[in-house]
A and B are shown apart, each in its own frame.
Chain A
């Protein structure tokens, strides 16, 4: 029962915060909504027995990525944007149709798949040792490639943002 209540609270919080991100006029408020959505998702990860990912989510997303976003907004001195949506006169109907089709298709696919089992009570998730062993044995090569990717992104970011 407690799982159900926590799930609904976190689900509603994440959806409301996500709508706030896409619909609010002020980009800084959108960023704060996004942080709320990240926290709700971290709570859902804890519910799904993945505490390691919940910690990573908060440290990397809220601690690094969102700070970067807010820092860039501060640097660019962005205010509210009065025209949130495109001012083009083209009808927006195809976009809404695409959105409804997307969400309808996704939900119908999920309904067609039968998930027989509810959340198992005996299963308490993977320990951090499990994940670390897998990361440094089976997925060692992708892990090293990822470090290279971060290096490339760092150099690229410096070069792109550098004054000519």
Chain B
């Protein structure tokens, strides 16, 4: 069986769903962040696959941008986790249910 682009896209869909599963089911804030990184990666895989299919280099630039935005997101998100942990001594989001800390 030869591998075509639909295989890559299905793999990307599976990885995205696993990421959504992590966000929906897990309660640890850091695991939720890692699941978000997984979802961003699956979208990158779809973009690279389509870039190869259409032979368009633009999609690779988008992947580059997505990776940079993911780095910025991880930095701010983890800073929020640290300041949250300083107040609540937990990273479980079930215990974080107030707008005013």
Contact = CB atoms under 8 A, between A and B. Distances in A.
Contacts of B33: 69
Contacts of B57: 126, 130-131, 134
Interface residues of A, number: 82
B76 interface: yes
Interface residues of B, number: 70
A80 to B, nearest CB: 10
A28 B47 CA distance: 29
Interface string B28-51: 101101110110010011001101
A38 B30 contact: no
B40 to A, nearest CB: 9
B68 A146 contact: yes
A76 B82 CA distance: 7
B13 A125 contact: no
Interface of B: 1-11, 13-22, 24-28, 30-31, 33-35, 37-38, 41, 44-45, 48-49, 51-53, 55, 57-58, 60-61, 63-65, 67-76, 78-83, 85-86, 91-92, 94
